[in-house]
Amino acid sequence: MINNYKFPIIIYNPHAASGIAPKKKTIERYIEILKKENLFKKIDTYPSKSKGDTINKIAEIHKDKKNDLIISIGGDGSLSTICNGLMKIPIEKRLPIFPLPTGTGNSLVRDFKIFSINDSIKHYKTEEPKMFDIIHVKGLEEKLDWYCINVLGMGFISDIANYVETHGKTLGHFSYMLGTILALGNYKPYNIEISYENNKKFESKAAYLLTFSNTKFTGGHIKIAPFAEYNDNLIDVVVLYELNRLRFLKGFAKLFVSKHIYEKGCAYFKANSLIVKSEPKMKLMLDGDLFGSTPVKLTILPKQLKLVL
């Protein structure tokens, strides 16, 4: 077996994901599977109450030094919060993360063809841990200081996330498809300016969707950034712009098969730092969670977190 951790702690949020968060029954089943596989000597669990509670618990875990691995049970938002807790710990002391998918999207682990706990266990036994870059998101006009390990979305994609957050995720990834259709009622253009290295700029007076990715997938099956790599020290930028509703839907549908990047009205480029401004302000979707707005500064930080994938 490649990995040999002995004393993990499971962190999960029973109140996340609009009612389909990991239930006690799910946690018990996962623990039973892990014990049956005889992977660990002892497994601790912690049901988190909030983002702040998770971040405080991460600090406590590192102070107590009783655990050697953090197991994340949940979706992308739960994993993201754990990552933000770890970013407050000195890099040489940060514990590795072993993500087990149970959320709506599970976008990050999809890059590694992980769709179930059994896939995760197989990778645990056979794959070396991977060092992930992380995207630092800093607000320029409001108090925002967050880290994205997967993707930051703006515009139409945050409208979709807002619908899913408001109406629930009980249909799994189909909730995102339905949200796409219903969010068209709020289809509006933004005047944007993206400044990046060596005085480069991308500008549009009619941008509709922006994503800044560290990995390939978002919203479950949507392969938004097909050339993204978790460890290349670059942010993959996708912008859909200057499109009417019909052409936008045509381009958006091609997101599911990664052909959108070849369509007219799609910009795709890479950078290691950017400043994003918009008029009006855009809401932000940070690893699936909605908070904050433009303008923001984004910076990629190389090889910050160890994930067992």
Residue 309 located in a structural domain: no
Residue 32 class from Cβ within 10 Å (0-12 exposed, 13-18 middle, 19+ buried)?
A: exposed
pLDDT at 264: 80
> Residue 75 — very low, low, confident or very high, per pLDDT cuts 50/70/90?
confident
For residue 252 the two structure tokens come to 């958006």
Structure tokens at 70: 């953090």
Last residue of a domain, one of 128, 155, 178: 128
Quick check: is 55 in a domain? yes
Positive or negative, the Cα torsion across 70, 73, 74, 76? Answer: positive
Domain that holds residue 255: 135-304
Q: Is a pLDDT exceeding 90 seen at residue 23?
A: no
Smallest Cα–Cα separation from 65: which of 99, 98, 93, 41?
Answer: 93
Residues 13 and 122 in one domain: yes
* 143 plus 249 within the same structural domain: yes
Residues 154 and 284 in one domain: yes
**H-type alpha helices, 186-303:** 245-253
Which CATH number is 26's domain given?
A: 3.40.50.10330
What's the confidence (pLDDT) of residue 205?
96
pLDDT the model gives residue 122 = 97
Q: If you average pLDDT over residues 7-34, what whole number do you get?
A: 79
Can you tell me the distance from the alpha carbon of 88 to that of 60, in angstroms, rounded to the nearest whole number?
12
Residue 98 domain-assigned (yes or no): yes
pLDDT of 19 > 50? The answer is: no
Q: Judge if 124 and 177 occupy the same domain.
A: no
| C-alpha distance from residue 198 to each of 156, 191, 272 (Å) | 29, 22, 11
* Whether 76 and 144 share a structural domain: no
Digit-coded pLDDT (tens) for 32-58: 999 999 999 999 999 999 999 999 999
Chosen domain end from 62, 97, 128: 128
Q: Is the dihedral of CA 247, 196, 231, 131 positive or negative?
A: negative
Stretch (H or E) spanning 34: helix 24-36
Amino acid identity of residue 275, one-letter, is I
Check if the beta carbon of residue 254 is closer than 8 Å to that of residue 260: yes
Check the CA dihedral 86-305-107-118 and report its sign: negative
What are 233-257's pLDDT values in tens digits?
A: 999 999 999 877 777 666 666 665 5
Q: The domain spanning residue 238 has which CATH number?
A: 2.60.200.40
Number of domains in the chain: 2
Domain boundary among 77, 108, 128: 128
Q: Which residue has the higher pLDDT, 182 or 95?
A: 95
Tokens 């994938």, located at residue:
309
Stretch 287-300: mean pLDDT: 95
Q: Do 201 and 111 have their domain in common?
A: no
Could you identify the residue written with the tokens 């949020």? 13
| 150/298 same-domain check | yes
pLDDT tens for 99-136 read 998 866 688 999 999 999 999 999 999 999 999 999 99
Q: CA 119, CA 109: separation in Å to the nearest integer?
A: 10
Q: Specify which residues 47 forms β-bridges with.
A: 12
Based on the domain organization, do 289 and 180 belong to the same domain? Answer: yes
Across the range 273-278, mean pLDDT stands at 98
Can you tell me the distance from the alpha carbon of 306 to that of 289, in angstroms, rounded to the nearest whole number?
A: 22
Q: Is residue 296 part of a domain?
A: yes
29 and 60, same domain (yes or no): yes
Percent of all residues in the chain with a pLDDT value above 90, rounded to a whole number: 66
Task: Check whether residue 139 and residue 285 sit in a common domain.
Answer: yes
Number of residues in the chain: 309
Residues 162-173 pLDDT 10s:
666 665 554 455
What pLDDT does residue 158 have? 76
Pair (213, 90) in one structural domain: no
Is 104 part of a structural domain of the chain?
A: yes
For residues 78 and 96, what is the distance between their CA atoms, to the nearest angstrom? 15
For 298, the token pair is: 């984004």
What is the distance between the alpha carbons of residues 176 and 252, in angstroms, rounded to a whole number?
12
Strand partners, 279: 191
pLDDT tens, position by position, 178-221: 556 566 666 688 999 999 988 999 999 999 899 999 999 887 77
**Residue 44 and residue 142 share a domain:** no
In a domain, 2, yes or no: no
